[in-house]
Amino acid sequence: MAPPVVRGTAAWRYFGDFRDLLLAGQVLVLQVAHPVVAAGVRDHSGYTEDPWTRLMRTGASLSIYVYGGAEGARFEADRLRELHRTFTGFADGRRYSALNPGAYAWVHATLVMAPVDAQRFFGRPLSPSELDEYYAQMCDVGRLLGVRERDLPASWPEFEQYYRETISSFGPNETIRTLFDTIATVGKPSPRLPDAWWRPIRKAHARAQMFLIRATVPAELRTRLGLEWTAADERRFARTRRMVRLLGTLVPPPLRTAHMRWVGKLNVWLRAHPRAYRFLP
């Protein structure tokens, strides 16, 4: 039995760490590399038209089921299952559902691995005891979301093997190409932002995001996707890691997750007071 996600436990410390944001692109690529997830995103996601809203909603959802308390997590889990129940269609002549157990578990698995990867790249790798506690807590979160117990391995070492084996079956697909195109052509987050300002910002953001994707996607998948990686890129990433690691040491541990905890509490309050949404922009 895993301890609840409360102050001081592994999931509380690492799931919402600000450095996790650096792996947002990697997580998206790994999720849509799964053929069922790719089909669902292609047919039902509006991220290409309004990626900023989609990003904010995803962050709010993640914050609730980890930092929103047991009641908030149950509410969000019920909402997500009901939403995904409507995401069905056909891919390669076969009917798919977003609640396909393997695909649903895989999406959760990418969210489980991302904070561990973030610490490995940009912080201090989790100890074996921290990994055991963290994984047990995230499995409990997965069960709240409807991930069947048998669809995720029982221990962290088994999970790592499952993760590697799943990625070994992935390759290029249309949704990944669309994701890369969206990164390069994403619209302004606000219509008030002048085009002359946004164009260089978008170019720099796309360059940085694609660099982080190339750096953090597993090497075998990076090769299959045709993403170039050079010795110069490796040196640049090493410098980036050192810089982010230093920044992380300057931020007190409780503040590293403060943004996600605040968003989680805010969203729980908004769920209980839906009329407040009228006052949001």
User: Do residues 135 and 182 make contact, with C-beta atoms less than 8 angstroms apart?
Assistant: no
Instruction: Write the pLDDT tens digit of every residue in 80-107.
Output: 777 767 777 776 667 777 678 889 899 9
Instruction: Write the pLDDT tens digit of every residue in 134-146.
Output: 999 999 988 888 8
Report domain extents, the chain: 10-275
Question: Can you tell me the distance from the alpha carbon of 40 to that of 96, in angstroms, rounded to the nearest whole number?
Answer: 8
Residue 4 CB-half CA count within 13 A: 9
Question: Can you tell me the distance from the alpha carbon of 26 to that of 18, in angstroms, rounded to the nearest whole number?
Answer: 15
Question: Can you tell me the distance from the alpha carbon of 23 to that of 120, in angstroms, rounded to the nearest whole number?
Answer: 12
Question: Can you tell me the distance from the alpha carbon of 276 to that of 265, in angstroms, rounded to the nearest whole number?
Answer: 14
Q: Mean pLDDT of all residues in the chain? A: 87
Indicate the range of 14-23, 39-48, 162-171, 253-262 predicted with least confidence.
39-48
Q: Cβ atoms within 10 A of the Cβ of 278, count?
A: 6
pLDDT attached to residue 220 = 96
User: Do residues 121 and 242 make contact, with C-beta atoms less than 8 angstroms apart?
Assistant: no
For the ranges 187-191, 204-208, 261-265, the maximum mean pLDDT occurs at: 204-208
User: Do residues 96 and 36 make contact, with C-beta atoms less than 8 angstroms apart?
Assistant: yes
Q: Does the pLDDT value for residue 13 go beyond 90?
A: yes
Residue 130 CB-half CA count within 13 A: 15
User: Do residues 259 and 16 make contact, with C-beta atoms less than 8 angstroms apart?
Assistant: yes
**Can you tell me the mean pLDDT for 172-189?**
91
Confidence of residue 69 (pLDDT cuts 50, 70, 90): confident
Confidence of residue 51 (pLDDT cuts 50, 70, 90): low
Q: Does the pLDDT value for residue 277 go beyond 60?
A: no
- Report the candidate in 246, 189, 179 with the shortest Cα–Cα distance to residue 213: 179
Cβ neighbors of 42 (< 8 A, separation 6 or more) are 174, 175, 178
Question: Can you tell me the distance from the alpha carbon of 214 to that of 184, in angstroms, rounded to the nearest whole number?
Answer: 15
pTM surpassing 0.75? yes
State the Rg of the chain over Cα: 19
Q: Please report the beta strands in 44-175, taking only residues with DSSP state E, as ranges in sequence order.
A: 88-91, 94-97
Indicate the range of 2-6, 235-239, 250-254 predicted with least confidence.
2-6
pLDDT attached to residue 53 = 61
Question: Can you tell me the distance from the alpha carbon of 247 to that of 205, in angstroms, rounded to the nearest whole number?
Answer: 20
Q: Does the pLDDT value for residue 281 go beyond 60?
A: no
pLDDT attached to residue 279 = 62
Confidence of residue 52 (pLDDT cuts 50, 70, 90): low
User: Do residues 75 and 145 make contact, with C-beta atoms less than 8 angstroms apart?
Assistant: no
